[in-house]
Structure 1
């Protein structure tokens, strides 16, 4: 799960509509994710950051 840093909406980053610009030649390779609610684009968090954030929630 990912939370939009603009509107606060939580969504699955692999859900349809969360991929960045479909018409762009860098589509899917730029590391950005688009919020399905507001359209705000943000950088996809790294695997290390996800693991660190995930540990904080389970403790």
Structure 2
């Protein structure tokens, strides 16, 4: 079960990073969002999902 949760978490982080770097935001904003998602995996992902660059 932990393996499945870990894989799901990894997939969500990779998806978020792809969406962040594919967005129209400035380079600085992209880097800050990516660092937020990487350093604070769960909270960063949730915040990015609701208020991140679209």
Normalising by structure 1, we get a TM-score of 0.26
**Structure with greater Cα Rg:** 1
Larger strand percent: 1
Larger helix percent: 2
Normalising by structure 2, we get a TM-score of 0.27
